[in-house]
Amino acid sequence: MRRFVVVGHLACTDPDFSLNDLPGAGRMDELCRCVAASLCLSHGMRKDVECWLVLLGAPKAPKTICFSGDGMRNLSPDERNIAGLIRKALALPCGTVFRESTPGVSVRKGGLAGVLAGCGCAVLDEGGEDVRKVSSLPDTFLLSDHLNFTDEEQGAIAGLPAYSLGPAVLHADQAIVVLQNEQDRRERGWI
């Protein structure tokens, strides 16, 4: 199972954000593109992938939303569709254990600390080891949205392995596509 964890530093945690202004909801547009990049194929869905969105913005406490390709229904790759699924998840009362809002989409309270406590992550960072020079890659990658990790987050992830996709800094959704391609090529013996 591949997993991509994307921290949305300003992403709205209230379901009342506008579907007509996704950038204004804390760059929800970027997070929606990360979900599409993680799960969507041409005319299909990656069943062996999860995309976790860690929403840290106002007005409510942090929440984590899990999109699981294995149970996913009604997902199309457009931002508005994905944002609608995020709104439904945010409207659902939840605790610290994932609760399904729609098939393949679950939500829980908690931010990055809960994610790091529950799964072993590697960080996707331009200062990390080149993915093309390592023999194997981890299953779970942590990425930041359009903002860098905060000093506090840097402290929490300091001991994690870090990997780089190359010399150019990419948007999170673009990085996911490149990493998916790299892992697909390795699984099929193309590298």
pLDDT in tens, 149-180: 999 999 999 999 999 999 999 999 999 999 99
pLDDT digits (tens, 9 = 90+) for 87-145: 999 999 999 999 999 999 999 999 999 999 988 899 999 899 999 999 999 999 999 99
Compute CA distances 183 → 19, 163, 166, whole Å.
Answer: 33, 13, 15
Give the total number of structural domains in the chain: 1
- Assess if residue 102 is contained within a domain: yes
Note the pLDDT of residue 191: 74
The parent domain of residue 12 ranges over 1-185
pLDDT of residue 118: 85
Is 190 part of a structural domain of the chain?
no
Taking the C-alpha atoms of residue 100 and residue 108, their distance in angstroms, rounded to an integer, is 9
Instruction: Output Rg (C-alpha) for the chain, integer angstroms.
Output: 16
93 within some domain: yes
Residue 14 belongs to a domain: yes
Instruction: Report yes or no on 106 lying in a domain.
Output: yes
In a domain, 90, yes or no: yes
Q: Is residue 49 part of a domain?
A: yes
Identify the CATH number of the domain in which residue 154 sits: 3.40.1280.10
